[in-house]
Amino acid sequence: MAKAPLDGIRILEVEGIGPGPFAAMMLADLGADVIVAHRPRTGPAIGIKERPVIDRGKRSIVLDLKGNEDRDVFLGLMKGADGLIEGFRPGVMERLQLGPADCHAINPRLVYGRMTGWGQDGPLATQAGHDLNYLSVAGALWAVGREGQGPSVPPTVVGDIGGGALYLVSGMLAGFLSAARTGMGTVVDAAISDGAAHMQNLLLSIEGGVEDAASRRTNPLVGAHWSRTYACADGRHISVQCLEPKFYTVFLDRMGLSDDADFRSNQFDAVAWPRLSERLSAMFLEQDASHWDAVFAGTDACVARVLSPKEAQTHPHNQERGTWLETSDGLQAAPAPRFLDREPLKAQKISERNAHGVAIRAALAAGDGWSRH
């Protein structure tokens, strides 16, 4: 079996929160050697676990980038790195004299990844914000909710991970390919608002997709009776999303509605959706979720019970693929995507903060700060 895809790639990460560390974790999952420069702490971090999953597979060193000695250590590591990831507001790394120009003067091949909410320029660039704000301005929150209701609050994976981390990863990978071809690095400006807006191109490709206030009520993925969740008698929920007519037909058959003209003829009639949703709501409330699991098992009706991560771990499909892992560090999702010509990627250990600080400093003093020995 071949080595991990990013074996030999070296990433220096400046500790941040959310999408930046997630992107670095994903690169580590893919085989990159990631050293995270954790910042000195005077107490526990608020809202963040002491050993978060997003630090798995990384080596840790605590560095005070405002101190000359630690700054020299950072520069020494950066000199041998293929990529750097930071998530400060625009200008912060420049004030530390660690911006792209400073780093490229030392390491021209460096792919410098910048993870922000608003990007490196524009009127909002230096303004504070969070996932919900970026999605709002990007036009991505508009579709999250039905007509007559305010947009719901999606989990941060939509902006931080979907629009942020994954776009940073794709930008870093493109940068590595370019550096290998040209010998020159680049600066990746990954803004959550940009990525979240870019993701809307899929919705804009769907007939009735959300473009303005008038089209919001006609977007089938938002308002259709066949694209939503339904509560069951036991308080659990079932998801339904049978978009294609052939799958919708299977759904109606399993629900005993094949001969119901109202359902048969109005799959794409936005006027009928509220009425049909009410009827389905009443039907699903008559039985527990386990009943509906049995009704739709093995079919192409595109129906599935809504599971928690802990429950998802025990689902037969996830068990066979090893999608969820119970590790000594707790429940984790396995690395993704998979490469079928290689050994399965493994979830690496989560190191204590500064666990590798002494060894990294010693290796750097000996001439190679990236040495693992």
d(Cα 210, Cα 219) in Å, to the nearest integer? 6
209/64 Cα distance (integer angstroms): 48
What is the DSSP pairing of strand 83-86 with strand 111-116?
parallel
Is 130 one of the annotated active-site residues of the chain? Answer: yes
Catalytic site residue from 29, 33, 160, 189: 160
Q: Could you confirm whether 160 is annotated as catalytic?
A: yes
Q: How far apart are CA 57 and CA 27, in angstroms?
A: 9
In the chain the first and final C-alpha atoms are separated, in Å, by 25
SS3 for 11?
strand
CA contacts within 13 A on the Cβ side of 326: 6
Residues paired with 351 in a beta bridge = none
What is the DSSP-derived secondary structure letter of residue 53?
G
Catalytic-role residue among 121, 130, 234, 262: 130
Give the whole-angstrom CA distance, residue 261 versus residue 283: 17
Q: By the 8 A CB rule, do 115 and 189 touch? A: no
Q: What is the residue whose two structure tokens read 């999952």?
A: 29
Contact criterion met (CB below 8 Å) for 115 and 122: no
Q: Token match 């707790």: residue?
A: 330
Residue 360 DSSP one-character state: H
Q: Tell me if residue 50 falls in helix, strand or coil.
A: coil
Cβ neighbours for 34, distance < 8 A, ≥ 6 positions apart: 10, 11, 12, 13, 24, 25, 27, 28, 57, 58, 59
* Residue 331: Cβ within 10 Å count: 13
* Per-position DSSP letters for 275-297, written without gaps between them: HHHHHHHHHHTTS-HHHHHHHHT
Question: Are 12 and 78 in contact, with CB atoms under 8 Å apart?
Answer: yes
Give catalytic residue positions.
130, 160
